[in-house]
Each structure stands twice: as C-alpha cells, then as structure tokens.
Structure 1
Amino acid sequence: MNPVNHQMRLAARPAGLPARSDWELATKSIPAPGLGEFVVAVSYPRQRAGTPYYYYYY
C-alpha cells in the first residue's frame, strides 16, 4: 500500500469571502524513495475551533 499525499488547492481566486467552490482536494500517490532518498511525514497539531493558538505548546 503506497502512502497518499493529500493537498488542499486553491481552484479559483475568490471574489470576497472564499467559498467551497474556490477549493479542491487533490490526492496523489507518493512514490517509493530511490537510492539515497527518504520520505518525510509531517503532522501538525489539530486545533479545535474557538481555541486560542497559545494553548498549544510545541
């Protein structure tokens, strides 16, 4: 099973506030690393809506 890269892309430049139609979700398979290469997985802490950012310590 190959890992999958999920990307949230801007599909169209918003006029005013962004709408759902201005975004697209793209998924792409991550190829196996070659000789001398490696894959890095980055994860970000999840924040709940309404919670100030300073409550999260990194």
Structure 2
Amino acid sequence: MKAGNRGRALELQRKLLALWNAITADNLPACTRHAQMLQGLPKTSAADLAARADVQAAE
C-alpha cells in the first residue's frame, strides 16, 4: 500500500476476501478454473459448473 491509498487498499482487500471465501477447499480446482474463465481464459468444463454460483457471488 502506497501512502495515501489506504481506502483503495481496503476496498481491494474486501473484494479479494469475498472471492477467497467463495473458493472452498473441497472444490478449489473448479472454482479456480471458473475464475480464470471470467477473466477471458479458456472456458471451464461441465464438471466446473457447480462452482460458478459461489465465484460469481463474490464478484
């Protein structure tokens, strides 16, 4: 965090925390692949569809 950017740093931390809380350990690979798809990387497989709601809720 650069001096004077505390508010922005906290805003980013809250967004990241919501995402990390949505990515559960028992389904981490599927959540990770779906998050990558949201960034424009290759699409997820049918097995990853269950993770979409959790990741999208964290956005």
TM range (shorter): under 0.3
Q: Based on CA coordinates, which of the two structures has the bigger radius of gyration?
A: 1
Higher RCO, Cα 8 Å, sep 6+:
2
- Name the one with the larger helix percent: 2
TM-score when normalising by structure 1 = 0.25
